[in-house]
Amino acid sequence: MMFSKSGELLFANICATNHYHQAEYSHSAYVEGRDIKLEDVIESMVWESEVAKAQLLKEVKALCLTDTCIEIESKKKGTGKSLMHHKNMGDDWFRVRFLPIQDPLTTDLAIMVTEYEISDLKSSQVELLEAQAVRDKFVSATSHELRTPLNGIIGLAESLAFQPNSSTALESLSAIKDCGHRLSTLVNEMLDAAACKSGTLVIKNENVDIHQVAAEACGFFAKRLEPGVRLINNIQPSLPKIRGDRTRIHKIFTNLLSNAVKFTHQGLIELSANTYMEKYLQVDLVDTGIGIPSESVGTIWEQFSQVDMTCTRRYGGTGLGLSVARDLVEAHGGGIKGACSPDCK
């Protein structure tokens, strides 16, 4: 659109393009008596304040031929006078450019206004920012988890180098093994998370004894309980076997139990299971841990999620465990949810 210095519409060209930027419609003509002014273009934008809108109008009207263009990005209102209207007006983003030019017919100063829809670009920018935020969370969460066992391995290995035949050698070797296991678990956690997100996770179809899998997982954590905490496996051996991936189901149990053991300082952690609607198996894990505020119950299954940053600093963890558990349950055609006691704050 081309406007006179006083703001009257002189010329308009409307061009619609498809996603391949090929013109689908184009129309141009000199316009006389059209009731659209330069102020209407600025008015059609979404503004945070009247002051900002008035300032732009002032700057545009002060443009001279020697000036560069003024360019802004804004949403457009769904009402008001404009040459550009469509069903998504008010939600879509536009880049609007005001360029001082010389009217080819009168040689007077005019203002050329171009509007480009940039909604796809804005969506891409939002997705990029979200991806960067996920990356930053990942780096923050995993750096400490990787550094701790690595430092342990290095320190213990150096100790063994100086005292290879000391009485503490076996203890150091055992500690190195534990650190290596911790690193392996972390790497597998990240690989599982990546496979779930990309849709490349492979689920085997085999008979699985859920009692035996639960017993193995409970056995692993039995030595990691705090004093006074009991871990009880009430899943009965008489339950029918289920079809699924035994390794993945074991991973579900270990991730859920790891979370329960980490946050339970007294009382008990109990596993139980029952058939549901004859063809499903419902597994319940109940603990007397620190609890989850009701407003956070729905977010604990998201990647890198912990109730607050104090939990991350105190308890550690990558924030992937529950997310991977949820993805593995859903990959088996099931669902998972959490609940907290009414008195949890």
Q: Which residues contact 17 (CB under 8 A, 6 or more apart)?
A: 23, 24
Q: What is the pLDDT of residues 208-261, one digit of tens each?
A: 999 999 999 999 899 889 999 999 999 999 999 999 999 999 999 999 999 899
Of 45, 63, 320, 309, nearest to 193 by C-alpha is 320
**What are the φ/ψ torsions at residue 29 (nearest 5 degrees)?**
-170, 150
> 16 pairs with which residues across the strands?
25
Q: ∠148-153-159 over CA atoms, to 5°?
A: 125
The span from the CA of 120 to the CA of 21, in Å, is 12
Q: Residue 294 above 60 pLDDT?
A: yes
Q: Kindly report the length of the chain.
A: 345
Better pLDDT: 337 or 345:
337
The span from the CA of 199 to the CA of 120, in Å, is 25
The span from the CA of 62 to the CA of 104, in Å, is 20
Of 76, 73, 72, nearest to 87 by C-alpha is 76
- Residue 244: how many CB atoms within 10 A of its CB? 24
Q: Which range, of 125-129, 133-137, 322-326, 331-335, averages the lowest pLDDT?
A: 133-137
Does residue 299 sit in helix, strand or coil?
A: helix
Cβ contact 145:318 at 8 Å: yes
Cβ contact 309:319 at 8 Å: no
Q: Which residues contact 261 (CB under 8 A, 6 or more apart)?
A: 221, 224, 225, 229, 231, 269
Cβ contact 84:96 at 8 Å: no
Q: What is the pLDDT of residues 36-90, one digit of tens each?
A: 888 888 888 888 788 988 999 899 989 998 898 999 888 877 544 444 444 444 4
Q: Which residues contact 254 (CB under 8 A, 6 or more apart)?
A: 217, 220, 221
Q: What is the pLDDT of residues 257-283, one digit of tens each?
A: 998 999 999 999 999 999 887 788 999
pTM of the model as a whole: 0.55
Q: Residue 306 above 70 pLDDT?
A: no
Does residue 163 sit in helix, strand or coil?
A: coil
Q: What is the pLDDT of residues 11-39, one digit of tens each?
A: 777 665 443 344 444 444 444 445 788 88
